[in-house]
Chain A
Amino acid sequence: MNLPSPGLPDFDYVSADTSDEVVSLLLKYPNDARLFMGGTDIFLHMRDRLVTPKLLVDVKHLPGMTSIDFDPKSGLRLGAAATLNMIARHQAVVKYYSLLAEAIDAFGMYQLRNRATIGGNLCNASPCADTGPIALVYEASLLAIGPKGERTIPAAEFFLGPGKNALDEGEFLMRIDFPTPPKGCAGRYLKLGRNSAGDLALVSAAVMAYPDESVKSSYSFRLALASVAPTPIRVPAAEAILARDPLTDETIELAANEAEATSRPIDDIRASAHYRKAMVKALTRRGILEVRTMLEKEG
């Protein structure tokens, strides 16, 4: 067994001033340099010797890296190093992106969220990351900077597998853009841990919906799940059911069944795949029911 070291191994630290500096360091030391912002994951991995960087490049002081901007037309722009607490207490997030605030509230604990960043949580590409399903349902896009300049990656294409994201060598995440949410949108983030709060998700479900005259049920839904596949996933088949049929309990049951069928959880020490699957159904059903109530109140 690999016992973690008592402390952090040796490394050099540099706080980068410009994105060019970051990119050049990443290219110069492809195996030895790692970016860091909040440190809440990388320090653990370093103690575990899962990663052994010789150079930590602190990117949270780059211009714009911690900024939070909202514009009713273009939406929410989050610097990758914005901490989860900064985001959760931002007025625009509270008002327009309640699902994001709710997921942050479900994340870890308060003092950890003072360090943990949105960019870090997404880039780690953990299947159980709380902000993963949120980025999916809001259809966020991620702005990366690399040797070839900037590029935008849709959230749906960002997560490739456990710990694997779509950033190329030399690239790093600068910003996450959340488009303006659909009008009348309501949402719930339901997370199941082993204890009441603060645990990693055994299963979590993000349910978002808004009035949409273009679909038969008059409501468009977006559903995303965490911890039940190698990456956070959307559940298009369930979304299609909810768009097609009136929002009765039976429809909701069908959609929940579909979510369960779509999920591909694993057995591990935290939970069995069997339980996780059942919980996908339970959380999806409850999430949809609660969102239906919210929509009915609004309507």
Chain B
Amino acid sequence: MGTHRITLTVNRVQEVAEVPSNLTLLDFLRERLALTGTKNGCSTGECGACTVMMNGEPVNSCLVLAVEADGAEILTIEGLAHDGQLDTLQKAFIELTGTQCGFCAPGILISARALLNRNPHPSEAEIRDALRGHLCRCTGYVRIVESIQAAAKAGG
């Protein structure tokens, strides 16, 4: 089986790696870069726990090959806060209990960030729609939606 040399940016840091064809971006992040904040919940693109930003758009990293990320800019939950500052969304999730067990939160925060980037003032329906690729079994989604609303209100 062949391997491929890839160069990509992960959380604003350039990474160079040799990856086999069948390595998913998810496993690359978790196992090669020890960025374990991104979670594996189903391996089928249904639960959204593995969501990362790829070139500014959220994707299920379990359905992306690492080799496909050659040249890409990747943002994971570990890179959401930067310059010592939490993202507005992170602050809102902390204040309003946007997560309970915490397993789905990294993916949800990435999707929420992408939502506010493309639509700074989403309606409740738009927020819920943007979340439909994220399964959460703890919260009933109530406080997730409220947290995203609060973050949008606080300027995104």
Do A and B come into direct contact in the complex, CB within 8 Å? yes
Q: Tell whether B43 is near chain A: CB-to-CB under 8 Å.
A: yes
Chain B count of residues within 8 A CB distance of the other chain:
29
Q: Tell whether A298 is near chain B: CB-to-CB under 8 Å.
A: no
Q: Within B125-156, which residues are at the interface with A (CB < 8 Å)? A: 129-130, 132-134
Asked if A11 contacts B60 (CB within 8 A), the reply is no
Q: Tell whether B73 is near chain A: CB-to-CB under 8 Å.
A: no
Q: Tell whether B98 is near chain A: CB-to-CB under 8 Å.
A: no
Q: Which residue of A lies closest to B21 (CB)?
A: A13
Within 8 Å by CB of B133, from A47, A56, A111, lies A111
Q: Tell whether B84 is near chain A: CB-to-CB under 8 Å.
A: no
Asked if B133 contacts A12 (CB within 8 A), the reply is no
Asked if B64 contacts A110 (CB within 8 A), the reply is no
Q: Which residues of A contact B44 (CB under 8 A)?
A: 44, 47
Within 8 Å by CB of B1, from A11, A38, A85, lies A11
Asked if B48 contacts A13 (CB within 8 A), the reply is no
Q: Which residue of B lies closest to A112 (CB)?
A: B45
Within 8 Å by CB of B21, from A11, A38, A112, A197, lies A11
Of A1-9, A67-75, A206-214, the segment with at least 4 beta carbons within 8 Å of chain B is A1-9
Closest chain B CB from A156 CB (angstroms): 30
Asked if B64 contacts A115 (CB within 8 A), the reply is yes
A100 and B103 CA atoms in complex are apart in Å by: 35
Q: Which residue of B lies closest to A42 (CB)?
A: B63
A43 and B23 CA atoms in complex are apart in Å by: 12
Closest chain B CB from A263 CB (angstroms): 27
Asked if A112 contacts B24 (CB within 8 A), the reply is no
Asked if A7 contacts B24 (CB within 8 A), the reply is yes
Q: Is the interface of A mostly helix, strand, loop or mixed?
A: loop
Q: Tell whether A108 is near chain B: CB-to-CB under 8 Å.
A: yes
A12 and B44 CA atoms in complex are apart in Å by: 21
Contact flags (1/0) for A106-140 with B, using CB distance below 8 Å?
00111110110000000000000000000000000
Q: Tell whether A198 is near chain B: CB-to-CB under 8 Å.
A: yes
Q: Which residues of B contact A8 (CB under 8 A)?
A: 22, 24
Of B8-16, B51-59, B75-83, the segment with at least 4 beta carbons within 8 Å of chain A is B51-59
Q: Tell whether A218 is near chain B: CB-to-CB under 8 Å.
A: no
Q: Which residues of B contact A114 (CB under 8 A)?
A: 54, 57-59
A43 and B43 CA atoms in complex are apart in Å by: 9
A149 and B34 CA atoms in complex are apart in Å by: 47
Q: Which residue of B lies closest to A61 (CB)?
A: B68
Q: Tell whether A58 is near chain B: CB-to-CB under 8 Å.
A: yes
Q: Which residues of A contact B133 (CB under 8 A)?
A: 108-112, 198
Q: Which residues of A contact B51 (CB under 8 A)?
A: 111
Q: Which residue of B lies closest to A12 (CB)?
A: B2
Within 8 Å by CB of A9, from B22, B45, B132, lies B22
Q: Tell whether A268 is near chain B: CB-to-CB under 8 Å.
A: no
Asked if A115 contacts B2 (CB within 8 A), the reply is no
Closest chain B CB from A82 CB (angstroms): 14
Closest chain B CB from A232 CB (angstroms): 23
Q: Tell whether A64 is near chain B: CB-to-CB under 8 Å.
A: no
Closest chain A CB from B103 CB (angstroms): 17
Within 8 Å by CB of B48, from A38, A58, A111, lies A111
Contact flags (1/0) for A234-260 with B, using CB distance below 8 Å?
000000000000000000000000000
Asked if A40 contacts B45 (CB within 8 A), the reply is yes
Q: Which residue of A lies closest to B26 (CB)?
A: A7
Q: Tell whether B104 is near chain A: CB-to-CB under 8 Å.
A: no
Within 8 Å by CB of A47, from B43, B48, B134, lies B43
Q: Which residues of A contact B58 (CB under 8 A)?
A: 110-111, 114
A58 and B28 CA atoms in complex are apart in Å by: 19
Q: Which 9 A-B pairs have the closest CB atoms?
A: A109-B133, A13-B21, A111-B58, A8-B22, A10-B1, A198-B132, A114-B57, A12-B2, A109-B132
Knowing that A13-B65, A111-B60 touch, tell me 7 more A-B residue pairs with CB under 8 angstroms.
A6-B43, A12-B21, A38-B63, A58-B68, A110-B130, A111-B133, A114-B59
